[in-house]
Amino acid sequence: MSAFLWGSATAAYQCEGAWNEDSKGQSNWDVFCHSEKNNINPTTGDIASDHYHRFEEDLDLMAAGGQNAYRFSIAWTRIIPNGTGVVNPEGIAHYNAVIDACLARDIEPVVTLYHYDLPESLFIAGGWENRQTSDAFCAYAKVCFNAFGDRVRTWFTVNEPNYDTLCCYGIGNYPPNVKDLSRRWRAMYHMLLASAKAVAAFHEGAYQGMIGLVSDSYAIEAHSDTPDYQEAKRLADLFYNRSVNDAAVLGQLPTELIDKLHSEGQILDYLLPGDQEILAAGKVDMLGINAYDRMLVKPCTTSQTSLSTNNTGTADSSNETNIAGWFSVDEDPTTQKNAWGMELYPKSIYTLLHQLNDHYPNLVFMITENGMGYRDQLVDGQIHDTYRVDFLKGFVNWTLKAREEGCDVRSYFVWSTMDLYSWINGYAKRYGLVYVDYNDNCRRIPKDSYYWYKDTIAAWNQKEGR
Ligand code: BGP
């Protein structure tokens, strides 16, 4: 990989639709969204952006917009419908077509193997709490390496072990809708093990290219520098960042994390002899970073853990994080937020990249997602999303500054390529560079941000002499 990758990203469940076509199996998200538990914004990914049928059109728009990379995820349920066992040739054929369509347009396919959608059979058997899921994942990964490894050079194993398991087992808004952090640590550990097994299989198979894990990492900041605030920062860094990144990059869980969980009386019976070797053999070649906001933290003063998130974008709902014995999430009243309470703070990427670069010297970084959710309005056939342009421009500039200062950043991907399903938040929360008119047969309409991105990439290419 030589040129800087300027692309955009999606995930299978959020955009493909075609939930029961071409022998696809059911995922936990299919089942959850079809159930009465899906009661905050009851909608499904059954059709979503209809990307399964329209990927050529979406790739045409990406190519016309100057993008040279597309990050998408493979639906495990299309490749191995039951999670383990028989491979579905129709699923292989579909992603062969997507990959070939990328290459035909000089777009580098960047593949994520797992982006939240787990085969329902594995979910019923305990999902990520069940260690066997890590073996099933590795077997699935090998099928993908064998089928697509001749053309795909950039792979990611798992998307956001932190955020995914926090929603599944902490906030409780993603299936299996549990609020018990001890179960979260178990599930996250198995995800990290799964990723390490797949990374080792990739290296053993001597496939060309690089493989990494996508981490939702955060710049950890605080309003004060007193010892109790410093301790809150240390614990938040352990909780959100190092728990995942140390395992993926250094091949070991931080001792401080194991000690902390032990001190809470947690039974870590899932740490088995031989696991250290598995993690050590599965160190990533690069780290994907999904960057949205920072974590401003303070000491936790409550004795009860309480976690909630704003999934409605209204004042009826709020974001709250108090992790008893660890830290609480603080607020800065002076910064702007979107309707869902996400802080608009582009400098966070600069701080984060330097923090990570200090902790993991010489690591290769790829910004795998950055985006802003907004209730975009279609006015006279156009979407003037200047708020998004300002936000993305800030992130791009701060990313490039960190790069100039020595952080080895190789890519930047906007979340998302086009509007798609936003987990739990439904379809009103839009992130796309391209608008999808769900009332008009999923018609695509490029937004102002799409044209801004095109100009930004063109200016970069001119500067680089490409
Ligand atoms: C990331 C996920 C994406 C995407 C994005 C926006 O954490 O990797 O899949 O959804 O966040 O989040 P949301 O849709 O919850 O607003």
**Cβ count within 10 A of residue 230:** 13
- In tens digits, the chain (466 residues) has pLDDT values of 469 999 999 999 999 999 999 999 999 999 999 999 999 999 999 999 999 999 999 999 999 999 999 999 999 999 999 999 999 999 999 999 999 999 999 999 999 999 999 999 999 999 999 999 999 999 999 999 999 999 999 999 999 999 999 999 999 999 999 999 999 999 999 999 999 999 999 999 999 999 999 999 999 999 999 999 999 999 999 999 999 999 999 999 999 999 999 999 999 999 999 999 999 999 999 999 999 999 999 999 999 999 999 999 999 899 999 999 999 999 999 999 999 999 999 999 999 999 999 999 999 999 999 999 999 999 999 999 999 999 999 999 999 999 999 999 999 999 999 999 999 999 999 999 999 999 999 999 999 999 999 999 999 999 998 7
Q: Is 369 a catalytic site residue?
A: yes
Nearest CA to ligand 1 atom 9: 11
The pLDDT value recorded for residue 398 is 98
Of the residues 108, 120, 160, 221, which is catalytic?
160
Residue 444, beta-bridge partner list: 436
Q: Could you tell me if residue 33 is left (phi over 0), alpha (psi between -120 and 50 degrees) or otherwise beta?
A: alpha
Closest CA to 186 of 120, 134, 121, 118: 134
Residue 118 contacts residue 27 (beta carbons within 8 Å): yes
Nearest atom, ligand 1, residue 340 CA: 16
- Cα–ligand 1 centroid distance for 206 (angstroms): 32
Ligand 1 centroid from CA 22, angstroms: 27
Cα 138 → chain centroid: 19
Ligand 1: does its nearest atom lie under 6 Å from the Cβ of 322?
no
Is pTM beyond 0.85? Reply is: yes
Residue nearest to atom 10 of ligand 1 (CA): 422
pLDDT of amino acid 2: 66
Q: Alpha-carbon distance 250 to 228, whole Å?
A: 28
| Residue whose C-alpha is closest to residue 82's, from 27, 42, 30 | 27
Residue 347 sits at the vertex; the CA angle it makes with 342 and 344, to the nearest 5 degrees, is 20
Quick check: 181 and 170 in contact, CB under 8 A? Answer: yes
Ligand 1 pocket, residue 159 CB under 6 Å? yes
Q: What is the Rg, in whole angstroms, of the alpha carbon atoms belonging to the chain?
A: 21
Question: What are the φ and ψ backbone dihedral angles of 94, each rounded to 5 degrees?
Answer: -60, -50
Report yes or no: 113 and 21 within 8 Å, Cβ to Cβ: no
Residue nearest to atom 6 of ligand 1 (CA): 422
Say how many Å lie between the CA of residue 344 and the centre of ligand 1: 15
Ligand 1 neighbourhood includes 16 CB (under 6 angstroms): no
Specify the 3-state DSSP secondary structure of 244: helix
The two three-digit tokens of residue 179, written as one number: 């609020």
Decide if 293 contacts 342 (C-beta within 8 A): yes
24: which residues sit within 8 A by CB, 6+ positions away?
A: 18, 75, 77, 78, 81, 88, 91
> Cα of 370 to ligand 1 centre, how many Å?
9
CA of 416 to the centre of ligand 1 (A): 9
**Cβ 162 under 6 angstroms from ligand 1:** no
Other CB atoms closer than 10 Å to residue 466's CB: what's the count? 11
Cα three-residue angle 423-444-27, rounded to 5 degrees? 30
Distance separating alpha carbons of residues 427 and 430, to the nearest angstrom: 7
For the chain, give the number of residues: 466
Spacing of C-alpha 159 from chain mean position:
4
Burial 410-436 (b: 16+ CB within 10 A, else e): bbbbbbbbbbbbbbbbbbbbbbbbbbb
Q: What would the two tokens of residue 311 be? A: 């999934």
Check residue 129 and give its pLDDT: 98
Q: Which atom of ligand 1 is nearest to the CA of 311?
A: 15
SS3 463: helix
